[in-house]
Structure 1
Amino acid sequence: MRNRILQKKLFLTTTGICIIALGAYAQTSIPGRLTSARDTTSPPKSDSVAQRINLPFNTVVTNGKTTAVTQAIYTESLVKQPVTNVLNALTGRLAGLYTQQNSGQPGLDAVSLTLRGRTPIILVDGIPRPLTTIDLEEIESVTVLKDAMSTALLGVRGANGAILITTRKGTPYKQVISFTAQTAFQQPIGMPKALNAFNYATLRNEAIDNEVRVNPSFNTGLRYSATDLQLFKDQTDPNGHPDVDWRKQILKSSAQLNRYSLNLSGGNNSVRYFAALEHLSQDGLFKTDNANTYNTNNYFSSYLIRSNVDLNLTPKLSGGIHLLGRIYNVNEPGATTASIYNSFLTTPNNAYPIINPNGSFGGTPQFVNNIQGQATASGYLQTYTRDILADFFVKRTLDELTPGLYVKGLVSYASNLNETINRSKPVVAFQRFVSGTGVESYGSALTVQANQLNSNTISTVNGIPNQGQGRQNYLEASVGYDRTFNQVNNVNAVILANSDNNVYGSNIGYNVAGFSGRGAYSYNEKYLAEVAFSYNGSNYYPGNSHYKYGFFPVFGLGWNIAKEGFLKNSKWINSLKLAANYGKTGNDNPGYFAYIQRIFDGPSAYFGTAAAANQTLIESTLANPNITFEKADKLDISLQGTVIGKLGFVIDYYNNKFTDVLTQRGRNTTLLGNTYPNENIGRYRYNGFDFQLSWRQPSAGGFGYFIAANAGLQQSKVLYIDEPNQLYPYLQRTGQKVGQAFGYQAAGLFQSQADINAAAQNGVATVAGYIPQPGDIKYKDLNGDNIINQFDQAPIGPTGPLITYGADLGFNYKFFDFSALIQGVANYSVYLNGNSYWEFQNNGFGQAYEQQLGRYTPATAATATYPRLSIGTNVNNQVFSSYWYRNANYIRLKTVQAGFTLPARYANAVKLKSLRIFITGINLLTITKLKDRDPEVYNGAYPIQKLVNLGINVKL
């Protein structure tokens, strides 16, 4: 612990000295100020994003001189959302980018991303690294690189697209100091609504009666008596007949999020600097016990420091030092947040009392972990994460050799450590008994009593043990050339070599290395020709270069139509560009030395005696000596322009064919006695359209407004997966969209016995061997054999393209501003099942929910919205079928912000450059047909949050 504190102090002190020393040196000599009020369509005015991005991406986002397709959003849009992860601020703002937030748990609330159907790589200042929990105010822009040309220099890691995060750099203006303080109140949304004890008991009795009709020997002793039902209803016996709303008992109605950001920037012609400090704390929803001397709530707390210094050492030599230090801590009860939320789903309100009359925790043999004890008496777990980044680069122009020539070198080092402190302890619960004469007694402890753990270990990352520490070394050297001849012929080229080496835990390092290049030619800014290539690979493949390295070429053409003579003087077409590019990119997905056959010690002896167990060897998954990287042939055609200086548009068509996709062979056999490896046999296609439309009305008379809308239409198709020969065409996965769900096609509920008797004539049936009852789900008998089995499975859920869309709009009037972000998804369904949706799971003792009140009974046959009730697993009603796939299309009011900026004369009077007060709402309204569930977190996991945020920004 002492060493850890010393490390923190040393790092913060060193970085602080660097910032202070360089800041003192960089006295401003050029008057000016930082500009603001940019929307998602406005680039930074200080210098282009392309100039600020480390190679290899210093040219790909320059809109007029490339055929690449990108889209960027900037600081002012990002900071409108008080989120802990920058990925959460991208939702609804970028065409073709689909985000889904699967949890609202502090520290684990990042969204999952797909870009045109694939998971993109994350880049920070041009370097691959998944660092997304950073200060939003230190980010200048987030750019999506969508096509082959924009990711060409990534080569073997470019097939899935990329998210490029560019941090802010200093500008040659007077120093600006900005301080922002925010506090937000969070409330969970979309949590499952459990039944109270009386309704639970009533429906459970009904479910038992339904089981008895099918199986007369079913154990009816599990029924509740009329006396039990009355006591549950009256709530007069909280110990013997409890009714505990566990979510209300354990969770707070709201939690707080606080963020404090301080940054300063400025410089002169010699030195430019940007420095930032941030502290963020986000409380979880668990209530705590004042008797504890430690915090058992789940919370997230982080401290971050950033220093970006860029230097002009001589007229021809420049360089930069970019540093980042981050420390964050995630805390939760010793029982873990996931276990507590699972207990919510498996524990009915009448399972046991919170506290027995003797002061012990209540429980039963079916429910040995008291939820109150899990939340407040199970100790705590803390995970500390520490990250250090250091980027150094130097650039030298070689105009003395030929104008436009330069060389550049970049060295980057990153280190991270995940450390878990485990102070957990078991929760000891007891079952209470009352004899017929009223004598109270307690059974033995339901869990083994043990001392509190006190361990300190390097934790897991993404569920992989011993991966909690790592380092990255990134090296890059490049030669570039940018020159215009005769004022009409522009040549721009770069050649670079790089090496990215990552070491995690005890694993052998993962290294991606190679070289790449790009060349572009434009004539009079009208005609563009572009070519790029990359030759690289990784060390996780066999030594044969055929598998280890790949060559990835890309070609592009562009036409700035508005530069033509027939449109050059047009008053209403300001810009119009048609561009296309085509190329091959790669996806490095090797696994850990998957070409080597590995053999491990086994846990027990298959032959011989137990004494020889430690000599047993087990062969792991079969090796694939021919494994190589996946490939993608990508075509992109885009048309973009600006009309009357206010209306901007982009129409983008893409067609991406993925080959050599790693997948397990479909035509395999279990007779082998081992698991088949992934092989490069899959072929998929992704295609669709991205649309962007924006309108910006500059202020006139103190009033101005803007709107920026986007939409993405993404469809996919399985071209080949080596599936077995299918008896019927509808069973084939080939030809369906990637990830298409297959299951039984529901045809409603059996309304009566007569309906069951007529099933064969109506082309419906139930699962083979099952005796159908009124209220059961009936399924389409696709092959007409009067039974439902694997030969009746067909595509279920959405089969068409996924549609994502968003609209960012706002206005300003004098000193007031307002903006809103609307985001939505169409052709989207979710599968509702298991403990979070079905009744009486967990061996028949589980929870039940409000949707079960709409179950089938003879009286509600015509209006029932849920099948007849069952105990435990119903082999017919709970199979994978379209009945449980629900339309989850939604429109969400993602962000609303209103602000007031103090008039300049008042701000100047108190020596301020500006002062702005704002209020922000997040996830305030969601419109969806999905009942009692949030369309993103619908399975009972930690819910996402609705936030109301108050903030103030002061600039000096």
Structure 2
Amino acid sequence: MKQYLLLPFMLIAGVQNASSGTTNEMTDTITATQQTVVIAGTVVDEAGEPVIGANISIGKNPEIIAVSDTNGFFSLKKIHGDETIKVAFLGYEPETVRLTKGKQTYRIVMKTDASQLDEVVVVGYATQKKADLTGAVSSISSRALSDRPLTNATNALAGLASGLTVTNSGGNTPGYESQSILVRGQGTLNNSAPLVVIDGMTGIALSDINPQDIESISVLKDAASSAIYGSRAANGVILVTTRQGAERAPRITYSGNVSFETVAKRLNLVTDYADFMEIQNAGLIANGQAPRFSQGKIDEWRNDAGRNPTVYPNTDWQAHIYRNPSVVQNHNLSVTGGSKRVRYNLTFGYINNPGMIYYTDYERYQLRSNLDVNIKPWLSVGANIFGYIDKNNPSSENAAAGGDVIFGSGAFNTVPGMTLYDPATGLYGGIQNPEEENVSNFNPYRRQWFYKPEYPTKTKRSVVKLNARLTPVKGLTIQGSFAYNYWERNIEHHLTDRNLYRFTLDGPVLIREGTVRTYIRRYNYKNTYRSSEITAKYDFDISRLRTSVFAGMSQEYNKYDTDYYIKYDLVDPSLGAINAGMTNGSITGNYNEWAMRSYFGRINFNWDDRYLIEANLRADGSSKFAPGKRWGYFPSVSAAWRISQEKFMAASSSWLNQLKLRASYGSLGNNATTSYYMYQSLFATANYILNGNIAGGLAQTVLANPELTWEKTYMTNIGLDFAMFNSRFSGTIDIYNKNTKGILISLPAPLEHGTSTVPNQNAGEVNNKGFEFDLRWNDRIGKVSYNVGVNMGFVNNKVTRFQGDVSSINGVYKTQEGKPINQLYVITVDRIVRDQSDLDYVQSLVDRNPDYFATYQRPELGDFLYRDANGDGKLDTNDRVEIGHGNVPRITYGANLGASWNNFDFSVLFQGVADYKVYYNNQAFRFVTVMGQSLIKDITDNSWTPENPYNSKYPLLRNNANGKNNIASDAFVHNAAYFRCKNIQLGYTIPRDVTRKFFVENLKVYASIDNLFTITDFPGLDPEVGANVGYPSVRQYSIGLNISF
């Protein structure tokens, strides 16, 4: 199994296989001359598993003349029978075999070399052996991402590393996914996103990267590992390294998959319109109103029984707006190779996703090229070029700007008595029942059509990074780089409208003209980023002390431009010119820019591979803050003790391979609290008198705060790394305490400031405490190799300084000192008033205090009775209580299982969260019957009625959106914990003795399923999405192919 884990190193060290053979060939003995023979053999590890990619050389000649294939086989032609062959592979002790005259087949067993097997991990500006790490770093290899139908790298991270919370918040279409990543929870009241660094460059989103280009991902979680990035590392750092060239013959690789997407879950809505009308009538009666629908209309629909669906529709909106399935294509072609002088990797990728919802299609072309050239033994240069172009129909102008998908949310805000579209006439339908016509004519199918952009949104990104590396003397490496990153998005909408019709047995009848005002609207967004950097690193040894000194500086500049314009009343909606609009709208534009200069350094000490010390320091100066507050300094120090290397541990060396204790402390910064020192926000347009006339101008309306500066995070981390039983069982355990200070908040205004708006101040503080672990087991039973991994992270979040006794309440969320960020704050339900005894109890409350229900309405039969939580004898907003631990899960976890047998491989990834509450009053999950909106069958079937007073889960449904049973209460607070099968896959690699006949180096086919199942008590579409609507969570069934030449 071990050699599979080392495949990335093979790509670096591999060479062209000079000669390889099949099993039959290796059992043949062919004598070329009296002096030479053909030698064949098999290279295996101590468990008898083939070692793939072992290098074979002859005698003292370092030239590699053969490489073992996927079955561990190799063959050597024209070899003298008394030669000595050498076999080497990373992670194993080299083996030397003296050939025996007359013997042509050999079995070579390689022993593990624990000193070489240690994993290399990418850290800030460097790589380190995992055994030498003093900080908390999680590493994710490309193997964890392979053979999955991934079009977005962010989706891949969930469940793969402890302390990492990946959330798909839904609402947006392919290419505009709303996803967030948190490292060790939400550490601030402002931007909590981690810094993403891709091949040493910032300013590129993780979702911009082709997952097939990724070689490794490192998550830097503590101050020791992150401090080298200073002011942007308070929320953690995610380092992505893409695939590089290798010293080998050119290898052409194609990897592709086709996925069939279906909606992971649908709500069970009331789609029988006759039932829908009866429920609505009951809701009106319960609210003291007359029923709207006549028995005659109800009978008409019921008697038709679906024979005329255009005239008497029972529309299941979810069935109509979702594709079933959506077929997604993902293709990648790469060329990798090189020599000692030049190494290259070129990758082309293509994605086509029609979208689960109509008119949300997405298409993307992407290209990446990594080139390294050794000009001299002491000088090398390189280029990293990356770019993509994508086209997307975001379904609405809101979605194009990051908002909800109208079509998706429309499925839960439309009645079943509407015909979407009549293919026979090409007309769009409205409400088919005249008794409801003036209540709702919202046809999301039609509305989606007129919000559909005539021209798709286009996004472009171009990135170029040039670098040079100089090694003038032994141990000294000087590197310089320049990076340029350009991003552009162009959005255009032509808004037109369609008429709506009622379809009758006698033909269509116009019920609503398309009166939406036509317009052409354009948005242009541009971002330009450039940076230059120079670093120097010097490694030297003094006796048993290994020392590494690193220093550098960088300069960055960023400019963001926006332009927007609109014209109304198009002469012809088919015209794409802005001049097609007859009426001027508005034209706006803006830009902002920032610059940063940084100095940073690191020093590492390693004494005898036992005692490790690392210190980092970064100084950042940012134009986002006022002069005098621009510079921030972020130091860290960490140490580790490799206990297993001590002499007194020698007796344990047979079973304990590694035991290391780590500790770190440091400070980090966050400059994402404000965009650009808020000069502009201090002013607003205002009129003034000039020469007796009113003139327009600017006036300062907000008080300035020149003291604004960085948020600072101070973190302590203690960790333990271990490996035992010949490294079969290994893991890491970490505990941490993270304090963020100087958080930007708004404090109450002193009275002497009058009505002026008080500026934000660096006054808030948040504490995160937690622990996390990663455990792994790798072993073999007979011919089956297997691995098991589990990880878990727990974080407790608390605001330690805010506004004193003053809390911030935003809807159902509350933030205050001593509590988590955005804790749920709602009134609680005492009971459903089910019978006369409950009514008598309600009366007793009124008897004690006539104003008991002054704030909330007095309940009647079937209604919620809310709890007087503070016991003051009346029911009001002071009876709201805090629930849960904020809007981020306290516990995240993942588990993976992999196995291989012969040429088959199997893997499954589970992922989930716990201790997580969500407020869910959306998507028709309401205890009301609102006219013109959908109803959930579970609620209508299990609500209180006079016929079902005792077995109901839900209260009486009243036809009132603001009714007494729809108040923000714990009835809408749900346990959003879940356990999900994130991915399951099965692959088969075609034997080499078959593929080599077709000049194929490697051929693998596989099938996988993403989001196979989710176990949860959450009643909505997806606990990860919560109350958001729009674009649904999907399940993917994929088949794929990987082939190399």
Q: Give TM-score scaled by structure 2 length.
A: 0.79
Contact (CA 8 Å) 1:525, 1:563: kept in 2 or not?
yes
- Specify the SS of the correspondent of 2:417: coil
Please say if 1:498 is aligned against 2:554.
Answer: yes
In 2, Cα distance between equivalents of 1:629 and 1:36: 54
Q: Which amino acid aligns with 2:181?
A: L
- Specify the SS of the correspondent of 2:965: coil
| Deviation at residue 702 of structure 1 after TM alignment | 2.9
Residue in 2 that maps onto 1:215: none
Residue in 2 that maps onto 1:690: 772
Name the stretch that deviates more: 476-485 or 844-853.
844-853
Residue in 2 that maps onto 1:850: 937
Q: Which amino acid aligns with 2:676?
A: F
Larger-Rg structure: 2
Residue in 2 that maps onto 1:107: 175
Q: Sort the Cα spacing of 1:928 and 1:432 in 2 relative to 1 into closer, same or farther, 3 A.
A: same
Q: Sort the Cα spacing of 1:561 and 1:768 in 2 relative to 1 into closer, same or farther, 3 A.
A: same
Name the stretch that deviates more: 471-480 or 733-742.
733-742
Aligned with residue 137 of structure 1, among 208, 212, 218: 212
How do 1:625-636 residues align onto structure 2 when only pairs under 5 Å count?
Answer: 625-636=706-717
Q: Which amino acid aligns with 1:146?
A: K
Q: Sort the Cα spacing of 1:31 and 1:449 in 2 relative to 1 into closer, same or farther, 3 A.
A: farther
Q: Sort the Cα spacing of 1:35 and 1:685 in 2 relative to 1 into closer, same or farther, 3 A.
A: farther
How do 1:161-310 residues align onto structure 2 when only pairs under 5 Å count?
Answer: 161-196=236-271, 197-212=273-288, 218=289, 220=290, 223-235=292-304, 241-287=312-358, 297-310=359-372
When the two chains are superposed, the root-mean-square deviation of aligned CA atoms in Å is 3.5
Residue in 2 that maps onto 1:738: 821
In 2, Cα distance between equivalents of 1:43 and 1:348: 67
Aligned with residue 320 of structure 1, among 382, 403, 416: 382
| Deviation at residue 774 of structure 1 after TM alignment | 2.2
Q: Sort the Cα spacing of 1:624 and 1:556 in 2 relative to 1 into closer, same or farther, 3 A.
A: same
Q: Which amino acid aligns with 1:592?
A: S
In 2, Cα distance between equivalents of 1:449 and 1:790: 43
Please say if 1:790 is aligned against 2:874.
Answer: no
In 2, Cα distance between equivalents of 1:702 and 1:356: 59
Aligned with residue 126 of structure 1, among 189, 193, 200: 200
Residue in 1 that maps onto 2:157: 90
In 2, Cα distance between equivalents of 1:353 and 1:768: 43
- 1:506-543: per-residue Cα shift (whole Å, max 9, x none)? 42322222101111111101001111111113101101
- Specify the SS of the correspondent of 2:964: coil
In 2, Cα distance between equivalents of 1:179 and 1:831: 45
Q: Sort the Cα spacing of 1:350 and 1:906 in 2 relative to 1 into closer, same or farther, 3 A.
A: same
How do 1:694-705 residues align onto structure 2 when only pairs under 5 Å count?
Answer: 694-698=776-780, 701-705=782-786
Residue in 2 that maps onto 1:386: 460
Contact (CA 8 Å) 1:379, 1:425: kept in 2 or not?
no
Q: Sort the Cα spacing of 1:732 and 1:425 in 2 relative to 1 into closer, same or farther, 3 A.
A: closer
Residue in 1 that maps onto 2:672: 589
- Specify the SS of the correspondent of 1:151: helix
In 1, Cα distance between equivalents of 2:698 and 2:1010: 55
| Deviation at residue 738 of structure 1 after TM alignment | 2.3
Contact (CA 8 Å) 2:927, 2:966: kept in 1 or not?
no
- Specify the SS of the correspondent of 1:149: helix
Q: Sort the Cα spacing of 1:497 and 1:27 in 2 relative to 1 into closer, same or farther, 3 A.
A: farther
Contact (CA 8 Å) 2:147, 2:1040: kept in 1 or not?
no
Residue in 1 that maps onto 2:729: 647
Q: Which amino acid aligns with 1:696?
A: N
Contact (CA 8 Å) 2:357, 2:407: kept in 1 or not?
no
Q: Percent same amino acid at aligned positions?
A: 25
Please say if 1:343 is aligned against 2:410.
Answer: yes
Please say if 1:909 is aligned against 2:997.
Answer: yes
- 1:119-160: per-residue Cα shift (whole Å, max 9, x none)? 211110122223323222211011111000111111111111
Please say if 1:615 is aligned against 2:696.
Answer: yes
How do 1:793-872 residues align onto structure 2 when only pairs under 5 Å count?
Answer: 793-798=880-885, 802-838=890-926, 844-853=931-940, 854-872=942-960
Name the stretch that deviates more: 942-951 or 350-359.
350-359
Q: Give TM-score scaled by structure 1 length.
A: 0.86
Contact (CA 8 Å) 1:796, 1:881: kept in 2 or not?
no
| Deviation at residue 411 of structure 1 after TM alignment | 0.8
In 1, Cα distance between equivalents of 2:223 and 2:70: 32
Residue in 2 that maps onto 1:518: 602
Contact (CA 8 Å) 1:176, 1:264: kept in 2 or not?
yes
| Deviation at residue 413 of structure 1 after TM alignment | 0.7
Residue in 2 that maps onto 1:755: 838
- 1:688-727: per-residue Cα shift (whole Å, max 9, x none)? 01111001115x6432000111001111111011144589
In 2, Cα distance between equivalents of 1:388 and 1:265: 22
Q: Which amino acid aligns with 1:755?
A: D
| Deviation at residue 370 of structure 1 after TM alignment | 2.6
In 1, Cα distance between equivalents of 2:1002 and 2:838: 73
Q: Which amino acid aligns with 1:527?
A: Y
- 1:638-694: per-residue Cα shift (whole Å, max 9, x none)? 001101120001110010001001122257899954654332111110010111100
Q: Any stretches of 5+ residues in structure 2 without a counterpart?
A: 1-15, 19-62, 72-89, 91-112, 187-192, 400-404, 431-436, 562-589
Residue in 1 that maps onto 2:444: 371
| Deviation at residue 618 of structure 1 after TM alignment | 6.4
Q: Which amino acid aligns with 1:314?
A: K
In 1, Cα distance between equivalents of 2:276 and 2:939: 10
- Specify the SS of the correspondent of 1:383: strand
In 2, Cα distance between equivalents of 1:471 and 1:32: 49
Q: Sort the Cα spacing of 1:107 and 1:703 in 2 relative to 1 into closer, same or farther, 3 A.
A: same
- Specify the SS of the correspondent of 2:156: helix
Residue in 1 that maps onto 2:564: none
Aligned with residue 636 of structure 2, among 532, 543, 554: 554
Residue in 2 that maps onto 1:12: none
Name the stretch that deviates more: 407-416 or 77-86.
77-86
In 2, Cα distance between equivalents of 1:792 and 1:904: 71
| Deviation at residue 166 of structure 1 after TM alignment | 0.8
How do 1:141-152 residues align onto structure 2 when only pairs under 5 Å count?
Answer: 141-152=216-227
Contact (CA 8 Å) 1:651, 1:692: kept in 2 or not?
yes
Residue in 2 that maps onto 1:952: 1041
In 2, Cα distance between equivalents of 1:841 and 1:664: 40
Q: Which amino acid aligns with 1:663?
A: I
Residue in 2 that maps onto 1:421: 492
Please say if 1:67 is aligned against 2:124.
Answer: no
Contact (CA 8 Å) 2:624, 2:676: kept in 1 or not?
yes
Contact (CA 8 Å) 2:894, 2:911: kept in 1 or not?
yes
- Specify the SS of the correspondent of 1:567: helix
In 2, Cα distance between equivalents of 1:906 and 1:831: 57
In 2, Cα distance between equivalents of 1:44 and 1:371: 63
Q: Sort the Cα spacing of 1:780 and 1:732 in 2 relative to 1 into closer, same or farther, 3 A.
A: farther
Residue in 1 that maps onto 2:801: 720
- Specify the SS of the correspondent of 2:995: helix
Contact (CA 8 Å) 2:532, 2:554: kept in 1 or not?
yes
- 1:379-405: per-residue Cα shift (whole Å, max 9, x none)? 535111111111111111231xxx422
Q: Any stretches of 5+ residues in structure 1 without a counterpart?
A: 1-25, 213-217, 288-296, 460-467
Residue in 2 that maps onto 1:929: 1017
| Deviation at residue 782 of structure 1 after TM alignment | 2.2
Contact (CA 8 Å) 1:351, 1:367: kept in 2 or not?
no
| Deviation at residue 359 of structure 1 after TM alignment | 6.0
Q: Which amino acid aligns with 1:742?
A: Y
| Deviation at residue 937 of structure 1 after TM alignment | 2.7
- 1:259-286: per-residue Cα shift (whole Å, max 9, x none)? 1111121222212111111111111134
- Specify the SS of the correspondent of 2:300: helix
In 2, Cα distance between equivalents of 1:622 and 1:706: 60
- Specify the SS of the correspondent of 2:733: strand
In 2, Cα distance between equivalents of 1:760 and 1:735: 38
Aligned with residue 988 of structure 2, among 894, 897, 900: 900
Q: Which amino acid aligns with 1:232?
A: W
Q: Sort the Cα spacing of 1:158 and 1:798 in 2 relative to 1 into closer, same or farther, 3 A.
A: closer
Q: Sort the Cα spacing of 1:945 and 1:669 in 2 relative to 1 into closer, same or farther, 3 A.
A: farther
